[in-house]
Structure 1
Amino acid sequence: MSRHLAVVHVDDVATAVLVALDTGSAAGQPVNIAESEAVPLRDWMRQIATGAGAEAEFVQVPDAALPADLALTGAIAQDMSAAVDRARDLLGWSVSDP
């Protein structure tokens, strides 16, 4: 199963929070802060490993084949994405280029 996540860097979250506090334009409204497109979890893990300077081989193993102590706790069973239109429209926010 290919799991997809909408992720965001902590610096981008901090920027969005500061803009929201400074402008008040999103007061009282929920605003999602994330990438506009979800990425495969395996790609995200590869980016983390590369950024850390690790040379790792990633092998996909079916969930059912993993021993209980290696299974993801609360494994992501579906894609997770977020509509970020309000962040863009109300805050003028978008993710920065890494």
Structure 2
Amino acid sequence: MSFTLGTPEYNREAIFKALLTSQLEGIDKFSELSTRLKQDIRFRYCCDFGISGQTKKHPKSKQSSTNSNWHAKLDSFKNKITWFGYKLNLAVDAKSELPRF
């Protein structure tokens, strides 16, 4: 018997598309966005959530590189977020939002 812990993994690209589209559609609240995604099949499909409401899952890559690695952090709701790639720490000017050298 196997158990999976935590909430199911969602497609981050679909969530990002939904957030961008919500700005274009004038949706100001997350509750309104959630309702729209549940009720509007075309809106859900355009954001890559699929017709059933499930996101299209992208398989995690097992590739390894000398500079890239698996990374993880906790978001503000204590959910673990993992990604494969490069980590960059960058100093940014608060006013202009440009990188500082």
Provide TM-score, normalisation by structure 1.
Answer: 0.32
Structure with the higher helix share, 1 or 2: 1
Higher relative contact order (CA 8 A, sep 6+): 1
Structure with the higher strand share, 1 or 2: 2
Provide TM-score, normalisation by structure 2.
Answer: 0.31
